[in-house]
Amino acid sequence: MDTEFIVKYIPLYIEAARLTIGLGIVGIFFSLLIGLFASLIQYFKVPVLKRIVGIYIELSRNTPLLVQLFFLYFGLPKVGVHFSSHACAIIGVSFLGGSYMAEAFRSGLEAIDRIQEESALSIGLKHSQVMRYVIFPQALSISVPALCANVIFLIKETSVFSVVALADLMYVAKDLIGLYYKTDEALLMLVIAYLILLLPISIGAAWLERRLRYAGFGN
């Protein structure tokens, strides 16, 4: 194991990690918004839109992020639509993640017994207040484990960003292997980088889930 090589190229991995986590965070933020909006459409059974959301979820969940990025970066320019590499990465993560987040939110919303809504309405609360103060807080707490799992999944999916010419962690590892044939060192740094990124999220998710359980949410 060439420790000098590892020390020399750690800054490249740090820069790649910043790019990876930056684009990942933005993509996850938009995927949460898309997922929440889509789940509410499904929950309230909005005509037409519910069918459109269903098609979107099936299309998104059944096509890999790699294929979606290829379509955005190489396919759309053929019809005159151009996106930068960064935009393609964010759109891809948002499109893929939105469907997974939608299913997580939907499962949480559907887990709440309808009698709670009826009881809240019977004491004079408006529909918007019932959703805001009764249904959504409980649904969110139930959805937390699935949402956190989706966040970890999406961060791992960023490993394909290199196909749209972004110098992410995987790109740096492949580049160093191709240039210097230091496979073991490059892959070791890649594994460590992803552990550093994902382990805190995993620990934080487990802690949050325990706190919610002890607080009595989701029961």
CATH number of residue 12's parent domain: 1.10.3720.10
Q: Is residue 24 part of a domain?
A: yes
b/e 82-112 (16+ beta carbons within 10 angstroms → b): ebebeebbbbbbbbbbbbbbbbbbbebbeeb
Q: Is residue 84 part of a domain?
A: yes
pLDDT at position 94: 94
Q: Is residue 131 part of a domain?
A: yes
How many Å apart are CA 101 and CA 30, to the nearest integer?
A: 10
pTM of the predicted model as reported, rounded to 2 decimal places: 0.86
Span 105-149, pLDDT tens digits: 998 888 888 888 778 888 888 878 888 888 888 888 888 889 989
Sign of CA dihedral 104, 110, 111, 112: positive
Q: Which domain holds residue 99?
A: 3-214
Query: How many distinct structural domains can be found in the chain?
Result: 1
Taking Cα atoms as reference points, which of 50, 164, 28, 156 lies closest to residue 95? 28
pLDDT at position 216: 53
Q: Is residue 219 part of a domain?
A: no
Out of 39-43, 46-50, 192-196, 210-214, pick the least confident: 210-214
Residue 51 has pLDDT above 60, yes or no: yes
Q: Is residue 30 part of a domain?
A: yes
pLDDT at position 39: 92
